């Protein structure tokens, strides 16, 4: 069974170097685990979308949850899916710019901080819209 987990967390540091390291690990490990997805580093928050075999994604999320580079992880959605949204990407990176902000506004989210309170249906539509926008950098 394919599972996707979408969560938000607070970054411990605003250092771009941490994000670089996280993406490097993700790219290496996720490819081996056949996990795909995308993440954004938005105003001090991480928003990550993970998809893959249910047990693999669950185990990976438990490891990520304990990473000191972020805190207060909150699962916004955990759901069985029939196909992947990001089949080609071990971990895509969303860039935070005016276009991204407009997508957030479309869902009445003034900024990334509102993510903690967003319901699953909103998150689902938000991720679909973000995935369809041109703001993703694929890191195969």
Ligand X SMILES: Cc1cc2nc3c(=O)[nH]c(=O)nc-3n(C[C@H](O)[C@H](O)[C@H](O)COP(=O)(O)O)c2cc1C
Q: Binding residues for ligand X, per CB under 6 A?
A: 9, 22, 25-26, 29-30, 46, 48, 50, 60, 63-64, 67, 69-70, 91
Q: What is the 3-state secondary structure (H, E, C) of 86-117?
A: CCCCCCEEECCCHHHHHHHHHCCCCCHHHHHH
Q: How far is the CB of 37 from ligand X (least distance, A)?
A: 6
Nearest residue to 79 via CA among 48, 51, 46: 51
Q: How far is the CB of 11 from ligand X (least distance, A)?
A: 7
Q: How far is the CB of 4 from ligand X (least distance, A)?
A: 12
Closest to ligand X by CB, 75 vs 121, is: 75
* Count of other CB atoms within 10 angstroms of residue 94: 22
CA 80 to chain CA mean position, Å: 16
Closest to ligand X by CB, 48 vs 135, is: 48
């Amino acid at each position: 069974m394919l599972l996707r987990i979408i969560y938000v967390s607070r970054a411990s540091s605003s250092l771009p170097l941490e994000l670089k390291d996280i993406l490097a690990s993700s790219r290496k490990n996720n490819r081996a685990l056949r996990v795909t997805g995308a993440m954004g580093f938005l105003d001090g928050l991480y928003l990550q979308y993970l998809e893959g075999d249910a047990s693999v994604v669950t185990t990976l999320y438990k490891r990520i949850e304990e990473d000191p580079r972020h805190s207060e992880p909150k699962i916004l959605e955990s759901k069985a899916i029939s196909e992947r949204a990001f089949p080609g990407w071990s971990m895509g990176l969303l860039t935070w710019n005016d276009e991204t902000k407009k997508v957030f506004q479309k869902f009445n989210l003034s900024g990334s901080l509102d993510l903690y309170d967003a319901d699953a249906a909103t998150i689902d539509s938000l991720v679909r819209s973000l995935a369809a926008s041109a703001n993703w950098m694929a890191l195969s």
